[in-house]
A and B are shown apart, each in its own frame.
Chain A
Amino acid sequence: MNSLAGIVPVVVFLLFALVMAVLARRRSRAAAEAGFVNEYFIGNRGLGGFVLAMTTIATYGSVSSFVGGPGQAWSIGWGWVYMATVQVTTLFLLYGILGKKMALVSRKLGAVTVIDVIRQRYQSDALAVAAALIMVTFFATTMIAQFVGGAKLFEYVTGYSYTLGLCLFGIAVILFTSIGGFRGVAVTDALCGVVMLVGIVVLAGGILSAGGGYAQVMDTIATNHPEMMEPLSGGNMPLGLYFTQWLLVGVFTFALPQSVVRTLGYKDTKSLHSAMVWGTVILGAMMIGVTSLGVLSAGVLTEPLDAYGGSVDNIIPQTIVATLPPWLAGIAIVGPIAASISTVSSLLIASSSAVVKDLWLHHSEKQGKHIADAIIERSSLIITLAVGVAVFALSIVPPSVIWKINMFAFGGLETAFVWVLLGALFWKRATRAGALWSMIGGVAAYCTSMALGFKLFGLHQITIGITVALVLMVLVSLATKPSDEKTLKTFFG
């Protein structure tokens, strides 16, 4: 049945986000003395601690964290929450390893994108083009997963069609990203982060109330599924899965370019330090909290998976419907929808910067052409819109199992960027050829092994991609001529 009460909070939230993006745009125009590109793609390096933390969290935390992951936790048990806890390391790794050095180097070089930094370190246009294409491809994959996850949730909870949900927040997110640029995305991300927390609290209240309280819910789970109370979940959570999840959603997340770009945009070191501490507090509450809700929903949804449509992606939507009245359900779904649109908006602006700044503008500058700010502004808006519309169109026919799509893109981006970034900033002997082989060879090995379903020791294919990328980076770098001293001085002093 269609629920007007369910749709109102979503519409109010989207309108509010749109207004914030418009205000951010006005402020951008007033603060754009450093040029449109600097403002639109990096917000004039003006992010404070709170917004920096929230925009990183909201970019990282996607609809997969809110729907797919908790759905899996419903099936696996506390082992899945234990595994999700590894994500508490993501912010301190990003800010601690790359935060200061990226900020220093990018300011020195005048770089406004991650690819700018990579291009200048390795002095390679081919590497920059490869990085841009890989980034846009995997970003598009992730964005499709976000659109689909959000729209499915909307359909399930409100009773309105999947297409209406897709149109509603698809159009809103494309509009407010195009209008607001990086600053607009960061500000709306902060709003989304707060809303995500509210969604978790509301749903927790619903589950505990419907299940007869925490003790009753836990006793129900322990009685029905005792294996869910064990870390290995009766074999459903093997040690190999823990290991690869540590790599995928823990250790290597600091190399995700959509997160790394945030280290170019903060104001000062105080902001970075406070974002690290408070971000870890909030991210932990969010990831442990939302995944725990998946387990606790097993105390409310006690039938086999087939009774809920046969997909774990239906568990959280079903829990919302089963445990909350329509008006509260509307508020609860704003959380995952906020997670979805905050990820899409960040990826959209990063994709747009890859196309506009890293490919088009760089090519024009090389040919000695000067492009006026007004033309760049118009083109950036059009490219952001075009990428958004393309992804939107691909989402109309939904693929299945959101968290797997998300993990595929995570693995691809980590494989492509981890050694290239580490080599750029911390290894003088890393060379242009080493970086190029590492990026292309690693991604090719990862995608091929994924397509063939080939695994080593039963581990996720990220292990293959990362290993091939590392070996190629080291061997090819050592076999080729080192980068020139002048370039190295900027990166190593």
Chain B
Amino acid sequence: MLSNGKLKSYQEKLAQADREAKATVVALFATIAAWVVLGFGLAGLDITLFHTPLWVIGGTLGTWLFAIGVCVFLERRVFVDFDLDEDEAAADLQTSAEAGVAHE
């Protein structure tokens, strides 16, 4: 999981959330493509494994594993860990301002 120490302001966090949402939509289309290829795509082959048609294994278990892989990829490469509660930049500014007042 990425941890982005630079992501402090509320605006930056919103922008990151937007990036993650876009990446998720791409992940959806990738999963749909995998589902089509591993299911319908394999249905033309007359192959069975463990008494089960290959398209059933590909279209169900294969798609599931693909979706798990997508989640792991999003978690490790796209999603960023940040604090949801504090607007740290604002907090820093406030702290600096208070320090300024104290020095005067």
Contact = CB atoms under 8 A, between A and B. Distances in A.
Interface in B42-78: 43, 50-53, 55-56, 59-61, 63-64, 67-68, 70-72, 74-75
A280 B15 contact: no
B1 interface: yes
Given A101-B21, A268-B83, A277 B59 contact: no
A392 B91 CA distance: 50
A100 B1 contact: no
Interface string A81-120: 1100110110111001110110110011000000000000
Interface residues of B, number: 48
A253 B75 CA distance: 21
B63 A85 contact: yes
Contacts, number: 125
- Per DSSP, chain A at the interface is helix
B97 interface: no
B33 interface: no
A387 B53 CA distance: 47
B87 to A, nearest CB: 8
Interface-centre pick from B10, B51, B63, B83 (highest chain A CB count, 10 A):
B51
Interface-centre pick from B11, B43, B60 (highest chain A CB count, 10 A):
B60
B102 interface: no
A214 B10 contact: no
A78 B67 CA distance: 19
Contact of A218 (B35, B51, B72, B81): B51
B83 A81 contact: no
22 contacts: A81-B60, A82-B39, A88-B64, A96-B23, A96-B27, A96-B79, A98-B21, A100-B20, A214-B50, A222-B51, A231-B55, A251-B28, A269-B84, A270-B1, A276-B71, A276-B75, A284-B68, A288-B60, A288-B61, A426-B18, A492-B14, A493-B14
Interface of A: 78, 81-82, 85-86, 88-89, 91-93, 96-98, 100-101, 103-104, 107-108, 214-215, 218-219, 222, 229-231, 246, 251, 268-270, 273-274, 276-277, 280-281, 284-285, 288, 292, 426, 491-493
Q: Which 9 A-B pairs have the closest CB atoms?
A: A96-B24, A493-B11, A100-B17, A284-B64, A218-B51, A88-B67, A101-B17, A493-B14, A82-B59
